[in-house]
Amino acid sequence: MTVPEQVNTIVLHHSATSNVAGELALSLGAPVFTVHTKRFPDGTANVRLPTEVRGKNVILVADTRPDSAIIKLLLLQAALQRGGAARIDTVIPYYAYARQDRRACKEDQPVAAEVFAQLIGQTTNRVGVVEPHNQSFMGCFGESAVSASPIREIAEHLESFGVGFVLAPDEGALPRAKEVAEILGVPFDHLDKKRVSPTEVRIVPKELKVQGLRVAVLDDMISGGDTTAAAITELKRQGADRVVAACVHGLFLGDALDKLRVAGCNRVVATNTVAVVPYGKVSCVPAIVRALQEGQK
């Protein structure tokens, strides 16, 4: 398919990121195309651009899991360069290797967050990542890399739930909880946790003034659900009325949702970076648009 000459910006995406790409294209008034991918008999990947890109500004909405998705991403960026794209902006709704940063990796392990960031950043003009867990590796994507925070949108959703208190399940989540609490004009706090095993988390006892309140437990992601479930259990023990588990990236691996339910969770809210309806209630696209626009200033 050929894009009319008067169209300057187009959006490309993997099928796994179609919901974000479609909404982003609509927001920007740009056409959107799905990238063609296939595998050769020997298992190697082959990608093909679905439209002419010469002279166009291309926004590539990319998936990074499983590992093979990163190979496709790198090949796509190379194809866009070879095809003569005027500019390439790579948008990553969920950067799957974000947790493998310097704080998490031992000396005999690669810092995977940095390794893949460097590779991705080499063949694009700019990378935008939605809630990258922390900022320590963002520079590896390149000097112009930007992070997109949908905290504002999450806060607006929590306001409709009548949240009167925001809790960070651990100290690392405190800055996000504070930001949401300030938007809502409600108190906030955090818990300290001790991970006993890969599947068991213990909360250090702490008095929280949550009696009769609707409380939001907020983190950047919910993966196995152990940390959030432990926080919910503590909130219910201290008399919280209703509890909503909120996050940017709703992975909900294994029986995570069951853990939240058993702990007493009344509602689960995530953005659409990973989760879909009914849990991906909050769109990350406004945050992406803000980040891309602010990065051009």
Domain ranges of the chain: 9-148, 151-282
The residue among 286, 288, 278, 230 whose CA lies nearest residue 250 is: 278
Q: Give 10-residue mean pLDDT values along the chain (297 residues).
A: 66 89 96 93 94 96 94 97 98 94 78 95 97 92 96 96 96 95 98 75 86 98 94 96 97 95 97 82 96 78
Sheet-wide strand order for 280-282: 188-190, 165-168, 214-222, 242-250, 267-271, 280-282
For the full predicted model, state whether its pTM sits above 0.85: yes
Determine the topology of domain 9-148 in CATH: Rossmann fold (3.40.50)
Annotated active-site positions, please? 193
What is the distance between the alpha carbons of residues 268 and 249, in angstroms, rounded to a whole number? 12
**pLDDT score at 295:** 65
Tokens of 220: 């950047």
Q: How many helices (H) and strands (E) does the chain have?
A: 8, 16
Residue 167 is predicted with a pLDDT of: 98
Which CATH architecture group holds 151-282? 3-Layer(aba) Sandwich (3.40)
